[in-house]
A and B are shown apart, each in its own frame.
Chain A
Amino acid sequence: MVDYRFSEEQELFRESIKEFCKSEIVPKTEKLVGARKMPEDIIKALAKFELLGMIIDPEYDGLGTDVVTAGIAAEELARADPSCAIPVLYLVETSWGHLLDKYGTEEAKKEILPKMIKGEQFVGIATTESDIGSDLGSMKTKITKKGDKYVINGEKMYISGVAEAMEYGGGHVTLARMKPELGTRGMCMFYLPLKDTPGITPTYVEDIGREGISCGGFDINNVEIPKDYLIGEENKGFYIVHEGYELARGLIALVCTGAASKALENGIAYIKERKAFGRPIGKYEGIQFKLAEHYVRIQALRELAYKSLWTYDQELQGKASRFDVSMAIAMAKSVAPIWAFDAIDDVMQWQGAFGYTKECEDQKAWRGVRSFTLAEGSCEIMKLIVARELLGKEFLAYR
């Protein structure tokens, strides 16, 4: 039989993080409205509770926990902040910190990871450009070698945490082309510090949700980085970037689970109380059917999401293949934002006109979760990955 239980440590961790969120995070979430930058005290609180980079090797001040445990944190943070701003900061640092840990040089790891874990520096991801997202092979940003340094030119756009890296310090794990003629086989991954870096010019955009974390981009004009900032080998960036994305996608599936679960709880409380035509609206089948459908879907999503992170853990231990991971993660991420959004949308619908006001807490989750149909690989791309695994690579539509 399959054993679905979490380990004793994981159960204790969930209990502890729930209390941490209740006392340290929930009271601070009001500050996120319109902030457009994660308040420093929230980052410090996450760091103090040792959430930032918890899966990273203890040699660089991480805890070396498994990925499923990191997923528990993602789910609980989303329950505490359904706007998803804090979960985004958390999952981005977890995923790209992990990639640095796995493929970065010793010098870079020692310099960057302990600061990220202490909440002193932000580490993000920057692959998207103004007119490329999933089609990484069409990227315009270039990296060239110059002696023992690299020089980068180009731009990145729709990137989370630009203001955090510019102001608090830190940078982004970035992808650029070294050999354009080789397409995706000629790309490099590297760490690009933003704060006080000559040649970096930031711009900002306003996301419709996730107001507590910045979104923007940066022009990169003849920016020099030391060779130690290369992550993995030259021209192998495309292959390793997926490991970061897959981890982020699995965590996103749990963020969606957490945000939707919280909304459903809010909805259940509401429909038991709110009366229409002389009885609580929860007595009407039209509401009950929706509630049951959403509950089942979110529970199914939860199983898919944890299974995907468990598969990721298995791969790290050499017990599963990259294909197993791609498939499991893509399945979870392909439905997570859609199912979660639909659930939250109906919870807002149950609340009538109030549900469409900014007084309604659930609208924050509605706007936040909506981002994940696009972020870290769109739901459509996730379906292509699932279909690729089912049909074989010869059926790739874009080749």
Chain B
Amino acid sequence: MKIIACIKQVPDTTEVKVDPKTHTLIRDGVPSILNPYDHYAVEECVRIKEEVGEGSVTVITMGPPQARSALLRCLALGADDAVLISDKAFAGSDTWATAYTLSLAIKKLGSFDIVFCGQQAIDGDTAQVGPELAQQLGIPQVTYVEKVEINDKHKLTIHKQTEDGYHILEAKLPILLALLPPSSFQPEHPPMSSILKAKKKPFNVWDIEILGGDKSRFGLEGSFTQVIKTYTPPPRGECEFIEHDSKEAAKKLSEILLKHEALSKR
């Protein structure tokens, strides 16, 4: 089974601070990490490969040369080989141009069975690249996937998270799955032996020349959207934390709601 995982290196948003005056994000000095959704996706890819007992997991990303470390981490988690798609021409790509670039790389890799993506990246939170990639590859997609079971080499059972439970779906291959980790997910931390092995695995860097494709569809030029500004809205109104056990808290809350006439007494 040939599996491809699309991953992204992102700033660790738990470390990002907000400028109190401009409300913009301060990214300076913020460490880069493997997008946590993608971390789950890669672990799932490796698990499925091991369950099937044959095949390969290829991880790909589009990003600057520094994104190499995120790919190496995926190799340390058990992926077999990596492709870094890196060229200045890709700078400024929106989700559509990114999906186009990734689709070219996936086509260049040859046939595949499943493409995994994280549901979204913690920096942009758009959740658009996965579906757009499926569209450009011309394959079906399922999003919000928590779990995948392999029935045979051509069919999957997919547990898709919904607001009130799961949809259990059956799907044929090839397919793109956007994964959302369960709340219980504990990411694996690759030990040094895995890191040493990762360094010996195949690692390719592809630029615009190697990738080919329509040059007008890359980067800023190929993007339909642009991020003008990222900011955190200043807090509005007042917030009161009710710190009691649940019974006391409910009582206190009802008092407040009554006071503000949000509830009426019967």
Contact = CB atoms under 8 A, between A and B. Distances in A.
B191 interface: yes
Nearest to B73: A12
Interface in A44-68: 48-51, 54, 63, 65
B137 interface: no
A15 interface: yes
A65 B192 contact: yes
A317 interface: no
Question: How large, as a class, is the contact surface on chain A?
Answer: 20 to 34
B190 A16 contact: yes
B189 A9 contact: no
Interface string B72-113: 110010000000000000000000000000000000000000
Question: How large, as a class, is the contact surface on chain B?
Answer: 10 to 19
A11 B190 CA distance: 13
Contact of B192 (A8, A11, A19, A69): A69
Nearest to B76: A12
Given A19-B187, A23-B186, A12 B69 contact: yes
A12 B68 CA distance: 11
A63 B76 contact: no
A204 interface: no
Interface string A1-44: 00000001101110111011001100000000000000000000
B193 interface: yes
B195 interface: yes
A16 B191 contact: yes
Given A8-B199, A9-B196, A9-B199, A50 B191 contact: yes
A48 B191 CA distance: 8
B190 A63 contact: no
A63 B193 contact: yes
Contacts of A20: 189
Nearest to B39: A19
Nearest to A70: B192
Interface of B: 31, 33, 68-69, 72-73, 76, 186-187, 189-193, 195-196, 198-199
Closest 9 CB pairs of A and B: A50-B191, A20-B189, A16-B189, A12-B195, A19-B189, A49-B191, A9-B195, A16-B190, A63-B192
28 contacts: A8-B68, A8-B72, A9-B192, A12-B69, A12-B72, A12-B73, A12-B190, A13-B192, A15-B31, A15-B69, A15-B73, A16-B189, A16-B190, A16-B191, A16-B192, A17-B189, A19-B187, A23-B186, A23-B189, A24-B189, A48-B191, A49-B189, A50-B191, A50-B192, A51-B191, A54-B192, A63-B192, A63-B193
